[in-house]
Amino acid sequence: MKVLVVGPGGREHALCWAIARSPRCHELFCAPGNAGIAGVAKCVAVGAEDVDGLVRFATETKIDLVVVGPEAPLVAGLVDSLERAGIRAFGPSARAARLEGSKGFMKDLCERHGIPTAAFGRFDEPEAAKEFIRRKGAPIVVKADGLAAGKGVILCRNVNEAYAAIDHLMTERAFGAAGDEVVIEEFLRGEEASFFALVDGKRAVPLVSAQDHKAAYDGDEGPNTGGMGAYTPAPIVTKEMAATVMENIITPMIDGMAAEGAPYKGVLYAGLMIEDGVPKLLEVNVRFGDPECQPLMVRLKSDLLEALLACAEGRLDSVEMKWFDDAALTVVMASQGYPGRYEKGSEIRGLDAAEQVDDVIVFHAGTRESKGQILADGGRVLGVTARAPTVAEAQKRAYEAIDRIDWPQGFCRRDIGWRAIDR
């Protein structure tokens, strides 16, 4: 098969790495890819959001399956355009991708189908939003309705912070049209976890659980980011908890989407808050998490390409997902200043030395190659990933590898995996 993976980041490097291992994959492309992806796939100069360009390339190259990594092209209807051109694709339609493209749509769906989630209100006027906050009090959560690159969720400790969040999103338009409408939610307490399932429109197969670290600095301090590290498994998601999540959240969501004429295909990522053994839905993403995808792919024993193809073709019941018993952990190395302003173009050395540590692979998230040098080209730049019998051992291997990387302009958290290790 000829396969095209869409996206430029660490998630796409992990997907390419796993797909390349499939005996069914004869030729692998990535658009646009990055310096690390170039080691396992042919990178093509087509942007991840260039729907017409991607359809044209897939048609001319006679691609058998397109695997869409990021959320923006899914929300923009890339899968719909590919399927109209007769090309199979892994990912939801634009109508189904509204689960991530509009937080308000997702919350309304939960309300219609009895899916447990935080109490909320939707607003398209700043003053109405502030009045709701005055009545509800704080702590409270303010969210941009649309896509905001993982940064449109603001946890507000007091009412004044919540008012400022409304101004930031709706008046200052920090995320453009994504903040034209906001969702305001009650603040849920507990422990967060990431739950993934493959879905073929009718059936869902759960993947192993994961947890990520959103805050920029050790001890979960600092601003929220796209994710500074992740690990699998998440101890809080026991077999019993996984069954509860499937019964109360995943299945009713899939059934609800099908009943409303927007059957869901692809990977469904449920962000959960779990308190006293009760899971509630925080958010839905319509793609693999980044960086959660990286440790998931390292633990996957079965053929990823076969599973993605089965989803696209509506025959997920023919696939059995198999996993290594080991844990896996990813530490993100980011450019100094991230998630704020940062510089591009600094050289990264020592990547080969890092991968000499047992069971370590360095996934590239924001890199480019120039004259034989690997240069930083983004905010989150590397995902140093280790597999080992326990989370603690995987953490030790990942940081041993990081200490071999020579990149003074980068930084990372030094406590990824602490929740699992503390248990």
Q: What is the CATH number of the domain that holds 149?
A: 3.30.1490.20
Residue with tokens 């990547």: 351
Amino acid type, 280: K
Q: Quote the domain boundaries for residue 157.
A: 125-180
Closest CA to 253 of 154, 111, 375, 146: 111
Say how many C-beta atoms besides its own lie within 10 A of residue 291's C-beta. Answer: 31
For residue 177, the 8-state DSSP code is G
Spatial contact of 368 and 344, defined as CB atoms under 8 Å apart: no
pLDDT of residue 422: 87
- What CATH number is given to the structural domain containing 290? 3.30.470.20
Are 280 and 355 within one domain?
no
Are 195 and 303 within one domain?
yes
Spatial contact of 351 and 13, defined as CB atoms under 8 Å apart: no
Please report whether residue 109 resides in a domain: no
pTM (global) more than 0.75: yes
Tally of domains in the chain? 4
- What CATH number is given to the structural domain containing 68? 3.40.50.20
Are 256 and 359 within one domain?
no
Are 136 and 57 within one domain?
no
Label the pairing between strands 2-7 and 27-32: parallel
Span 367-383, average pLDDT: 97
- Distance between CA atoms of residues 229 and 286, nearest Å: 20
Spatial contact of 297 and 18, defined as CB atoms under 8 Å apart: yes
- What CATH number is given to the structural domain containing 363? 3.90.600.10
Are 86 and 9 within one domain?
yes
Q: For the sheet with 373-376, list strands across it.
A: 347-348, 373-376, 367-370
Q: How many CA atoms lie within 13 A of 93 on its CB side?
A: 13
Q: What are 274-317's pLDDT values in tens digits?
A: 999 999 999 999 999 999 999 999 999 999 999 999 999 999 99
Please report whether residue 149 resides in a domain: yes
For residue 220, the 8-state DSSP code is G
Span 135-161, average pLDDT: 91
Element (H, E) at 29: strand 27-32
Could you tell me the pLDDT band of residue 152, with boundaries at 50, 70 and 90?
Answer: confident
Q: What are 229-263's pLDDT values in tens digits?
A: 999 999 999 999 999 999 999 999 999 999 999 99
Q: What are 65-124's pLDDT values in tens digits?
A: 999 999 999 999 999 999 999 999 999 999 999 999 999 999 999 999 999 999 999 999
Q: Does residue 167 surpass a pLDDT of 80?
A: yes
Please report whether residue 215 resides in a domain: yes
Strand-pairing partners, residue 32, are 7
* Per-residue 3-state assignment (H helix, E strand, C coil) for 317-358: HHCCCCECCCEEEEEEEEECCCCCCCCCCCEEECHHHHCCCC
Helix-helix angle 126-136:159-166, to 10 degrees: 160
Q: What share of the chain is helix, strand, coil (3-state, %, to 5)?
A: 35, 30, 35
Are 207 and 302 within one domain?
yes
Q: Helix, strand or coil for residue 126?
A: helix
Q: How far is CA 59 from the centre of its chain?
A: 27
